[in-house]
Amino acid sequence: MNCVHIHAPAGEYIGQVRRRGAQRWRTVANSKTAKRAMVVAIGAMRDDDKRARVLFCTEWYDPNVVMELSR
């Protein structure tokens, strides 16, 4: 008999933006959905910000990049 294991960890999505030429990311959003975190991150971008990204953070695993935007 086969057993199917569905892994769906609970966590939060963190929206971040980064300035042009910078190495550090600035956190601008904490959300329960990836779409909402990306919308807030895009809205928080300034004229000199180049990238926005969304991380998925769980209790036991390292943060995973879910989506990234570059302009």
Smallest Cα–Cα separation from 55: which of 26, 40, 34? 34
Q: With respect to residue 16, please indicate whether it lies within any of the assigned structural domains.
A: yes
Q: What is the pLDDT of residue 5?
A: 75
Q: What is the pLDDT of residue 17?
A: 96
On whether residue 6 sits in a domain, the answer given is no
pLDDT of residue 9: 77
pLDDT tens per residue across span 11-55:
999 999 999 989 999 999 999 999 999 999 999 999 999 999 999
Q: Is residue 59 part of a domain?
A: yes
> Which residues lie closer than 8 Å to 16 by C-beta, 6 or more apart?
25, 26, 27, 28, 41, 52, 53, 54, 55
Q: How confident is the model at residue 3 (pLDDT cuts 50, 70, 90)?
A: confident
Return d(Cα 47, Cα 1) in angstroms, integer: 58
Longest distance between any two alpha carbons in the chain, whole Å = 58
User: How many folded domains does the chain comprise?
Assistant: 1
Domain that holds residue 56: 11-70
In a domain, 47, yes or no: yes
Model-wide pTM > 0.95:
no
Tell whether 5 is covered by a domain: no
- Residue 3 belongs to a domain: no
Is 23 contained in some domain?
A: yes
